[in-house]
């Protein structure tokens, strides 16, 4: 058996943990640069606000007080997610974190009575210890657990936990689940399926195996198998990325060479940090710039330059230095830039880096690696406390517009909650 633990309206719930006055009110969380809606409370959903709604379309509702908007606060969300996942990990022998707000718990070998006790306790414990409401779906396969979690979230009568542990419950749950809501189907395949007369999950599960294999191949067979109560999706092992990109749009266009260089340095340093976290090293560093393509009255320019490293690296010094060299070859001061970014690719395992026989910089690279390790330890709190001189100084937001950002209550000492 699997239990899928899903945090309800996660970003909104995180905002409510330290701001209880938001309970019962219509709340939305906005994307970077306050661009569009990426999370909604149940109250804002009832108002008809859709995911992806541009902020300018609901700005008047925010100004009038009908709706409350929050800028993305990923530092807060990441910290609360870690707290939730640590509670889940303590409750079961095996956990598979699926996303920032979802995790599969492996309940193999447990009796249903024991599973019921654990799930009820987790709903209560996560809410009490972290402040985040969760819904849990329990079923013999991951796809069915996803279906069950949807019912647990939508219907209060389940009190946070829905079990699909019999064939009767499975058939009823599938008959009430639109095909577009099935994990692995989504909006891409559902229009095609609906044209074929498949409108619910049960319609798909009842199709013959040979037809499913012919029409939807391996991925469709896996989903079909899982909907019929047999395991078709194994443990999802995280794969190392083939490339890493860090980029940002600027709140305001700029042609300031020093400002752009410092931001590119920040992006490169972030890429280097991600490389070290994944125990990878990059053989190539690329830098790109974009002007504002929506400004027809301005000249357009979108260059990119790549720098091949002599030895694959992941130290902040080498990645930043390569990015700055690439930037120097493409920057032109006559353009107004709206976005910049850094990409590292040609990735290899950091333990398998090929060192040239005559590498006269080996000692320097080792020192840089040690310095980067120290930086990671000091910056483990999430704050940019130790950085290279080429990077921006102080605490910054990458130039991202975040007019409605809440405080980082749990990670920044100067933003902790105040008791009066």
Q: Do 198 and 215 meet the contact criterion of CB atoms below 8 Å apart?
A: no
**Tokens 């290899």 sit at which residue?**
348
Q: Looking at residue 180, what is its pLDDT?
A: 92
Q: Looking at residue 287, what is its pLDDT?
A: 96
Supply the DSSP symbol for 238.
P
**CATH fold for domain 77-227:** Alpha-Beta Plaits (3.30.70)
Q: Which two tokens stand for residue 46?
A: 């009832």
Crossing angle of helices 257-277/316-330, nearest 10°? 140
Q: Looking at residue 384, what is its pLDDT?
A: 64
Residues (pLDDT < 50) of the chain are none
Q: Which two tokens stand for residue 166?
A: 């019999």
Quick count: other Cβ atoms within 10 Å of Cβ 280?
Answer: 22
Q: Which long-range contacts (CB under 8 A, 24 or more apart) does 78-82 make?
A: 78/382, 79/382, 79/408, 79/410, 79/411, 80/14, 80/17, 80/130, 80/131, 80/132, 80/410, 81/7, 81/10
- The sign of the CA dihedral 190, 48, 401, 372 is negative
Q: Looking at residue 109, what is its pLDDT?
A: 87
Q: Looking at residue 248, what is its pLDDT?
A: 84
β-pairing, 348-349 vs 280-291, is: antiparallel
Crossing angle of helices 142-154/209-227, nearest 10°? 60
Q: Looking at residue 395, what is its pLDDT?
A: 53
Task: Give 98-140 pLDDT, tens digit per residue.
Answer: 999 999 999 988 999 999 999 999 999 999 999 999 999 999 9
**Tokens 């230095």 sit at which residue?**
321
β-pairing, 102-106 vs 2-7, is: antiparallel
137, β-bridge pairs:
4, 162
| DSSP string of 249-307, one letter each residue | EEEEEE--HHHHHHHHHHHHHHHHHHHHHTTEEEEEEEEEEEE-TT-TTS-----EEEE
| CA nearest to 306, candidates 260, 343, 349 | 343
Task: Give 329-383 pLDDT, tens digit per residue.
Answer: 999 999 999 999 999 998 988 777 666 555 556 666 677 777 777 777 767 655 6
Q: Looking at residue 85, what is its pLDDT?
A: 96
Which three-class secondary structure state does DSSP give residue 412? coil
Q: Looking at residue 25, what is its pLDDT?
A: 96
Q: Looking at residue 414, what is its pLDDT?
A: 84
The domain limits of the chain are: 77-227, 244-381
Q: Looking at residue 238, what is its pLDDT?
A: 55
First to last CA, the chain: 48
Q: Looking at residue 362, what is its pLDDT?
A: 63
Q: Looking at residue 293, what is its pLDDT?
A: 87
Q: Looking at residue 394, what is its pLDDT?
A: 57
Residue 193 CA to residue 197 CA, distance in Å, equals 6
Say which CATH class 244-381 falls into: alpha beta
Q: Looking at residue 376, what is its pLDDT?
A: 74
Q: Looking at residue 108, what is its pLDDT?
A: 86
Q: Which two tokens stand for residue 168?
A: 């009767």
Residue 11 CA to residue 386 CA, distance in Å, equals 29
Residue 272 CA to residue 324 CA, distance in Å, equals 14
Which three-class secondary structure state does DSSP give residue 127? helix
- Does the pTM surpass 0.85? The reply is no
């Amino acid at each position: 058996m699997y239990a899928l633990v899903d945090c309800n309206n996660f970003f909104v719930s995180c905002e409510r943990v330290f701001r209880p006055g938001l309970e019962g009110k219509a709340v939305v969380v906005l994307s970077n640069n306050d661009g569009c809606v990426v999370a909604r409370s149940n109250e804002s959903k009832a108002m008809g606000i859709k995911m992806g709604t541009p902020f300018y379309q609901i700005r008047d509702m925010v100004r009038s007080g009908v709706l409350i908007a929050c800028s993305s606060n990923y530092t807060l969300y990441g910290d609360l997610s870690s707290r939730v996942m640590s509670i889940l990990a303590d409750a079961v022998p095996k956990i598979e974190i699926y996303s920032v707000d979802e995790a599969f718990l492996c309940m193999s070998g447990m009796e249903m009575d024991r599973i019921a006790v654990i799930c009820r306790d987790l709903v209560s414990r996560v809410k009490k210890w972290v402040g985040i409401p969760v819904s849990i779906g329990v079923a013999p396969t991951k796809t069915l657990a996803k279906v069950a979690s949807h019912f647990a979230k939508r219907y209060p009568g389940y009190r946070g936990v829905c079990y699909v542990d019999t064939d009767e419950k499975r058939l009823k749950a599938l008959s009430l689940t639109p095909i577009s809501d099935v994990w692995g189907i989504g909006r891409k395949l559902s229009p095609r399926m609906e044209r074929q007369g498949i409108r619910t999950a049960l319609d798909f599960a009842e199709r013959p195996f040979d037809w499913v294999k012919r029409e939807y191949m391996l991925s469709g067979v896996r989903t079909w198998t899982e909907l019929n109560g047999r395991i078709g999706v194994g443990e999802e092992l995280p794969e190392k990325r083939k490339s890493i990109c860090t980029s940002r749009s600027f709140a305001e266009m700029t042609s300031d060479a020093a400002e752009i260089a410092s931001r590119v340095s920040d992006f490169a340093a972030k890429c280097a940090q991600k490389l070290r976290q994944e125990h990878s090293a990059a053989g190539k560093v690329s830098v790109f710039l974009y002007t504002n393509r929506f400004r027809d009255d301005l000249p357009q320019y979108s260059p990119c330059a790549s720098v091949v490293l002599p030895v694959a690296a992941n130290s902040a010094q080498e990645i930043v230095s390569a990015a700055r060299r690439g930037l120097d070859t493409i920057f032109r001061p006559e353009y107004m830039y709206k976005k910049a970014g850094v990409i590292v690719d040609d990735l290899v395992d950091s333990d398998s880096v090929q060192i040239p026989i005559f590498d006269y910089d080996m000692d320097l690279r080792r020192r840089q690696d040690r310095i980067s390790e120290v930086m990671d330890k000091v910056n483990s709190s999430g704050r940019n406390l130790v950085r290279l001189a080429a990077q921006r100084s102080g605490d910054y937001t990458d130039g991202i517009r975040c007019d409605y950002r809440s405080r980082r209550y749990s990670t920044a000492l100067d933003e902790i909650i105040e008791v009066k």
